[in-house]
Structure 1
Amino acid sequence: MEPTLVHVSRFLAAGLTVRTQNRDEMRQDSAQIPELWGRFFAGDLANTIPGRLPDAPVVGVYSAYESDANGFFNVTAGVPVSAASSDFDGIEIEEGSYLVFEARGAMPDAVIQGWGTIWQYFAQHPEVQRRYATDFESYDGPDLVRIHIGVVA
């Protein structure tokens, strides 16, 4: 399935953040993202982060890229909010063009497969440039994630 190109307006998200790299996430002993999501859901943070926008989905935001898919980056498990909170890490999702990839199935396997599709897509389409500014996952149901990848328009 080909991704869809959409324009996303700037928005704020708040939640918990870790700094990691893909190489570490491939190994169980150094992966931080599963623990991040575990803390997020165990603390019921989706329902307790102040200023959550009505009917906003849970999001996973990728930001502060050191370089590209091989460097370090931040991951924030959170929700879109109306304003920053001193109790949680805040991140501004940049306005711009995003390719949207959909993945369906049991989580987290569906999102992992979705990222595999993304890496394959960019390997096959070198003419499409990623921005490496902000990317985000939008969890739009128990078995649906939409992964937004910022691209140069």
Structure 2
Amino acid sequence: MKFYFTTLLVAFFLISCKNDKMSDNKTVMENNDNQPSLVGVWQMVGYYNYNDNKIVDSFMSSETYKQIKIYTPTKVMWSRLNKQDSTDWFGFGNYKITDNTLTENLVYGSNTMNKTIEKNNEFNFELVLNEDTYNQIELDENGDRILSENYIRIE
């Protein structure tokens, strides 16, 4: 299992270092400042759990657990497949990026997600954005890292 995780982690970092020279894709992946952009389609590849701002555990996505996020210049939509759970999970709303922060304001979602949205529709994350990878990191009330969702660009 350790070898499998190490192999996936190395593959993840290699993908994140990929430098795509194709000009057609560069327009979609970068904004006017030649900075990476979230605009596109992303697939979650795994999670990191943190303790004292250090990664203490990780979980990789699988064929039975998938999550896809789609970003336009102003909108976000995500859906989650968990074949071991009959609960539907999806959400739609607006987002904005400031410095290294991603804020998603969800307008509606699945019945399960709507219960969460009724209590709080704003989700703030630390954002680590590269050309073909990004991490949205949940912080606690002290600003310490709790959980990271890790994504790769698929389109």
Which TM-score bucket, shorter chain as reference? under 0.3
TM-score by length of 1: 0.27
TM-score by length of 2: 0.27
- In terms of Rg, which structure is larger? 2
Higher relative contact order (CA 8 A, sep 6+): 1
Structure having the larger proportion of residues in strand: 2
